[in-house]
Amino acid sequence: MSLLSLLLIPVIALALNVSAINRQAYEAIEYMKKIEEFPDYIQGELLKLWLTEDSLPSGRLFYGDEELKKEHMKSLHENMNLSEVPPKVEVSFGWTKKPTDMKLYPTRVVIHKGDKDIDYNQYTMLDAFTPVVLLHRSKDKRWCYVHAPYMRGWVECVSLHMASREELKHILSLPFLVVVKGSLKIGGVWFYLGSRVPYLEKDKNRYLVLLPDGSRRWVSLDEGFHEGFLKFSPDRAKHILDSLLGSPYRWGGKWDCSALVKDLYAVFGLELPRNSSQQAQVGRVVATSFKSYEELKETLRGLPPFQTLIFFKGHVMIYGGMEGNEPVLYHAVYKLKSETGSEWWIKAIKKNLLESHRLRNIHRAIVSVNVLD
C-alpha cells in the first residue's frame, strides 16, 4: 500500500481522545514537561537529585572492552561536575539539531553486561527539533544535561541549538508536517516516524520546511509526510506497523519496544512517555493478570485493535486484532522465549501470532493490559 493509500483509508469514528490521553500522561509522569513552559530557574538541590537519581544495574558490568572499575565510575562522577551546580540554576532553551543520543552518564562508552547491543548508559534518542532546556554542563564541557519533553539526561553539546524561550515558542507555534514513514532525510538531517517538521510556506502539495539549523528546503507530502497529525484509525496504525516490520531493534533508540509505541501514536498526536513502565500508567487498565492463555485470548477479542497495549516487566506489545482466530501482537523485540523453552533472537520489529509462534505462555508475564481511548 502506498503512502497516498494510507491517507485515503476511511477513518472510522473510534474513541481515541487525544487531549484526554495527553493530559493523563502529563499528570501521571513526573518526567513529562512542556518545555516552553519550563521555569526560568530551578533549585540546585533539585538538579542534583535529577543528576543522581538513576544508576547502573547491579551485577558484572563492562566499560567498553574492559570490566567496569571504580576508577571508571569515579571519572564519570567527576565529569558530571556536581560541585559546580549553583544553589539557583538558570535554564537556557533550545532544540536538537539532529537525532541525538541521551545518556545516563556523560560518555559515549558503552556500558554493558557482555552484549554491547544493550547499553545501560543509553536512555533514548531524541529526534531532530526536540525542544530542550539546558540545565548543566560536564566538567569537560562536551556534555550538556538537558530536560526534553519526556526524559532528562546527558547529550553532546554540539547537538544543540540554543535559543530564547520566545524563539522556541515561535518554532512550536508554526504549522507542521508529521513524518508517517519509518525515516526520511531532509538537507542532511534524518527525521523519524512521528517527528514534527515545521513549515513556513505551502504551495499545493509542496511545503517550505524549516530545519533545526535555520535552513529551508522544499518537500512534498509524497516523500513521507502528512500535514498535521493523522486522524487515528486501526487500518492506518496497521499500515504503519506493517511498513516497519523487519526494521532493526536498537536498545534506547529507533526502535526498542517503547520507542515504537511512542513514535507510532505520535503520528496521531499522542504524547506518550518514553519507557514501558511509564506508558503502563497511561490509558484505561482492563486487566493486570491472567489465569490462562484462553482467558487472555477472550479478553483481547473484546478489546480494540491498535488501541490496546500489553505490558510486561520491561516490555510492551501492541495488540493488532485477530487473524485466523488467534491474537496478533506487534512489537520491537530483541529476543523471545517460546512455550517450548527455545530462544528466538529477533532483533527487529516483529508481528507475532501467539499460537502459530508458540507464545501462549506470555499470559504468565503480563502485568497490565491498557486501552487508549
- Terminal-residue alpha carbon distance, the chain: 27
* Contact in structure between 105 and 154 (CB atoms under 8 Å): yes
Q: Is the pLDDT of residue 159 over 90?
A: yes
Residue where a domain stops, chosen among 210, 227, 244: 227
Residue where a domain stops, chosen among 211, 227, 243: 227
Residues 44 and 142 grouped into a single domain: yes
Residues 87 and 109 grouped into a single domain: yes
pLDDT for 12 = 47
Q: Residue 6: which pLDDT band, with cuts at 50, 70 and 90?
A: low
- Please name every residue paired with 218 in a beta bridge, in sequence order, or none if there are none: 208
pLDDT for 60 = 97
Cell numbers given for 119? 547499553
Residues 218 and 158 grouped into a single domain: no
Whole-angstrom CA distances from 239 to 183, 283, 360 are 15, 23, 25
pLDDT for 338 = 87
pLDDT for 341 = 86
Q: Is the pLDDT of residue 7 over 60?
A: no
Residue 201 in domain: yes
Residue scoring higher pLDDT (346 or 6): 346
Q: State how many domains the chain has.
A: 3
* Contact in structure between 211 and 184 (CB atoms under 8 Å): no
Residue 21 in domain: no
Residue 61 in domain: yes
- What's the CATH number where 222 sits? 2.30.30.40
Render pLDDT for 10-30 as a digit per residue (tens, 0 to 9): 544 467 899 999 999 999 999
Mean pLDDT for 156-184 is 98
pLDDT for 8 = 57
Residues 163 and 248 grouped into a single domain: no
Residue 254 in domain: yes
Render pLDDT for 307-364 as a digit per residue (tens, 0 to 9): 999 999 999 999 999 999 999 999 999 999 889 888 889 999 999 999 999 999 999 9
pTM of the model: 0.94
pLDDT for 5 = 56
pLDDT for 13 = 44
Q: Is the pLDDT of residue 1 over 70?
A: no
Residues 196 and 265 grouped into a single domain: no
Q: Is the pLDDT of residue 158 over 90?
A: yes
Residue 285 in domain: yes
Residue 23 in domain: no
Q: Spell out the residues 6+ positions from residue 318 whose beta carbon is closer than 8 angstroms to its own.
A: 237, 241, 260, 261, 264, 306, 308, 309, 310, 329, 330, 331
Residues 208 and 340 grouped into a single domain: no
Residues 184 and 203 grouped into a single domain: yes
**Which structural domain range is residue 8 located in?**
3-16+231-371
Residue 208 in domain: yes
Residues 159 and 186 grouped into a single domain: no
Residue where a domain stops, chosen among 151, 168, 185: 168
Residues 107 and 185 grouped into a single domain: no
Q: What whole-number distance in Å separates Cα of residue 107 and Cα of residue 154?
A: 8
Residues 203 and 238 grouped into a single domain: no
Residues 178 and 83 grouped into a single domain: no
Residue 42: phi and psi, rounded to 5, are -130, 160
Residue 156 in domain: yes
Residues 358 and 250 grouped into a single domain: yes
Map grid coordinates 484526554 to a residue.
20
- 3 state SS for 271-304: CCCCCHHHHCCCCEEEECCCCCHHHHHHHHHCCC
% of the chain with per-residue pLDDT over 70: 96
Render pLDDT for 181-234 as a digit per residue (tens, 0 to 9): 999 999 999 999 999 999 999 999 999 999 999 999 999 999 999 999 999 999
